């Protein structure tokens, strides 16, 4: 979440020169009308950037899935199960037979993934 926040702050600062140019261009108008037009132009540009930051950047944060009443792939216990779905260099989004692990077995699986080079940060 912090990485997305930093990207958003950078994006916000990038909007300043664009809005300043539009406001300078519209300087002969009423300042409220010029500000509304500048914000409209900025919104049409930065909608796509914001959408990318908040929905299309899977590398920024690991995605997890949890389900109730699953059989743990390691110990066989029926409990709430967890699995890592996707991160920077790991993608199990199309896994036809996902393996869930209970809260007791999940940490060992995460350590195994780290040893194999899966990046969890």
Hey, what are 80's tokens? 């709430």
Q: What HEC string does 21-82 produce? A: HHHHHCCCCCHHHHHHHHHHHHHHHHHHHHHHHHHCCHHHCCEEEEEEEEECCCCCCEEEEE
What is the predicted pLDDT for the residue at 47? 87
76 — alpha (psi -120 to 50), left (phi > 0) or beta?
left
pLDDT tens digits for 12-71?
888 888 888 989 999 999 999 998 999 899 889 888 888 877 776 555 578 889 999 999
**What's the half-sphere exposure (Cβ side, CA atoms, 13 Å) at 89?**
8
pLDDT at residue 57, as a whole number:
53
pLDDT at 10: 86
**Domains of the chain by residue range:** 2-58, 62-115
3-state secondary structure of 121: coil
pLDDT surpasses 90 at 115:
yes
* pLDDT tens column, 56-109: 655 557 888 999 999 999 999 999 999 999 888 888 989 999 999 999 999 999
The CA-to-CA distance between both ends of the chain, in Å, stands at: 11
Across the beta sheet with 90-91, the strand order is 63-71, 78-87, 90-91
State if pTM tops 0.75. no
pLDDT, position 103: 94
User: What one-character DSSP code corresponds to residue 84?
Assistant: E
Tokens (6 digits) for 73: 């792939």
């Amino acid at each position: 979440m912090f990485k997305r926040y930093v990207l958003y702050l950078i994006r916000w600062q990038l909007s300043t020169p664009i809005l300043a140019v539009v406001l300078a261009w519209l300087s002969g108008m009423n300042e409220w009308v010029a500000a509304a037009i500048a914000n409209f132009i900025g919104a049409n540009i930065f909608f796509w950037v914001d959408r990318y930051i908040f929905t299309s950047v899977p590398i920024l944060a690991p995605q997890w899935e949890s389900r109730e009443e699953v059989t743990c792939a390691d110990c066989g216990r029926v409990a709430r199960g967890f699995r890592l779905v996707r991160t920077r260099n790991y993608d199990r989004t199309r896994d036809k037979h996902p393996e869930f692990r209970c809260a007791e077995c999940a940490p060992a699986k995460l350590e195994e993934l780290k040893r194999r080079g899966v990046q969890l940060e």
